[in-house]
Amino acid sequence: MMNRTGSGDGPKSARPDDASVELDGRSLTLRDVLRLARPPREGKAVTAALSPGAVAAARQSVRLRDSLIAERKPIYGVTTGFGDSVTSQVSPERAAHLQRNLIRYHLNGTGPDTASDVVRATLLIRANALARGNSGIRPEVIGKLLEHLNADILPRVPERGSLGASGDLVPLCYVASVLLGDGEVRFGKKSVPAAVAQREAGITPVTLEAKEGLALINGTSFTAAFAAIAAHDAARLAEAAEIATAFAGEALLGNASHYAAFVHDAKPHPGQRTSAGQLRRLTADSGLSTTYEAIRDSTEPLHEDYRRLDQRIQDHYSLRCAPHVVGVLRDTLSWAEQWLTTEINASTDNPLFSVDEQRVHHGGNFYAGHVGQAMDSLKVATASVADLLDRQLALLVDPKFSGGLPANLVPPSLDAEAGLHHGFKGMQIAASALTAEALKTSSPASVFSRSTEAHNQDKVSMGTIAARDARTVNELTGEVAAIALLAGAQAVELRGLSKAAPAVRRVHATIRAHVPFADGDRRMEADIAAVSELIFNGELARAAGFSPDKDSDAAAA
């Protein structure tokens, strides 16, 4: 397994198994990222190490780096200044000092501290990017990232300060600083100086050589970490939206024929078809929802010129078009996950060393444009799901549309206290506010490129902001989904739980194991938090018969 002593012998390779991930810079999966970012609260945590091939490739890259430096010709960021200061060349003897100053002058992040799961993912993805062997950094230094990850020594990283090109300079400097023994870390449940945690874990700080500071900070790993976790959580929201739609359809005595395979095979977007199939499964064997055929058969033929039907043969769009809305999220995830998989297996710093060609290349792989585009698209699709669920909730609580359910889902048992209880009225207000915030936050960040750094960085991706926004939209949509599910559970119980589809009853039981029926007005913020956690930890999806990845089900530590 990974050497944690910091002896300077370089990282030892891990034997691949269920408890280890071996990094080669090319085969890291999003599933791996989640396994290490969100370790189980109990049981053996997953660890990571460099593959033997990655160690060898890094050593070759360093040898090429040193041979080129010896020629005393300018190499960007190695023997020159940074950014617009590229015209300043320093001697090889001063190259290492230059790297230390690079880290110092970027320690100006602001905002809240980054969550532990994102920091873990950042450490992993940065190590994997460097494991490709193109970056001129020793394997011992790459190994320090993994030693901190495996010991769960997490740098304190402010969220704000990255343009998403030239990579995540500011946040990754906080990571690099810790490797040098400076800065603050989260270790256990405490915030302590990095040096204290390193002594306790037996980790020796590094002394950087030429290029190594730039290799650590000039990349998209912080952005990609937010994005990988956002994509995972958005997939959970797609499942939650389908479950909530099934509840709403049951409670509103909806028309399940809208989800017929024929309809969606006629417009065969994969996500739409998947979503419709899940809704067919979730509402199967229901005694509450109906079909067009059942409505038709119970309706007498028309023998006069006009009549008003007792029952709608088509539901409102928020029920009828749910597969079309959730399907957009599912399909957005399908290509966003492909882009993210490429990003987390890429060399994203500059310059890069080609051992085969024995030359250095200057480029811009630090530009997080693909991640920014993916996250801007993801947050729009996710916020649209929040809007869908908010509209369904409006139908459930309003007796003009709910088909006989009590106003605001106040139980009839409270008739003796009529006028004193308001049920889910406040919950709908909260859901509307959360939805508005999600929709507002879905505004694209990638269009706000700013020219900076003496117009050297004159076109930037804003991918980091887009990825952080995607995380925020997920949180807001999760809260909307929780409210919609709580209302759905209440409404199905009022309608007659025994008649509901088996899958709906299973989910209802899971919700009721954590949140009681609202038999009168009470505080409900804890209810929202409890159901939101059920969404993101996968428990709700498992109860509904989905098959979420078991290895990524643990909640964030």
Catalytic residues: 76
Q: Both tokens of residue 258?
A: 């809208």
Cα angle 226, 227, 229 (rounded to 5 degrees) comes to 70
Q: Are 445 and 466 in contact (CB under 8 A)?
A: yes
Cα angle 460, 371, 464 (rounded to 5 degrees) comes to 60
* Rounded Cα gap, residues 433 and 487, in angstroms: 16
If phi > 0 it is left, if psi is from -120 to 50 it is alpha, else beta; for residue 123 that is alpha
HEC string for 285-331: CCCCCECHHHHHHCCCCCCCCCCCCCCCCCCCHHHHCHHHHHHHHHH
Closest listed residue to residue 173, CA positions, set 236, 92, 114:
114
Q: Both tokens of residue 247?
A: 């509840």
Q: CB atoms < 10 A from the CB of 262, how many?
A: 7
Q: Are 125 and 37 in contact (CB under 8 A)?
A: no
Q: How far is CA 495 from CA 280, 492, 532, in A?
A: 20, 5, 24
Closest listed residue to residue 163, CA positions, set 228, 105, 106:
106
Closest listed residue to residue 388, CA positions, set 301, 477, 452:
477
* Rounded Cα gap, residues 383 and 148, in angstroms: 35
- H-helix segments, 314-416: 317-320, 322-343, 369-397
Closest listed residue to residue 177, CA positions, set 256, 266, 241, 99:
99
Closest listed residue to residue 328, CA positions, set 463, 442, 226:
442
* Rounded Cα gap, residues 374 and 371, in angstroms: 5
Helix (H, G, I), strand (E, B) or coil at 218: coil
Q: Please name the residue that has the structure tokens 């539901």.
A: 315
* Rounded Cα gap, residues 245 and 15, in angstroms: 45
Q: Please name the residue that has the structure tokens 């409102």.
A: 316
Q: Both tokens of residue 289?
A: 């929802």
* Rounded Cα gap, residues 202 and 7, in angstroms: 9
Distance in Å from the first CA to the final CA of the chain: 23
Instruction: Give the residues across from 22 on adjacent strands.
Output: 49
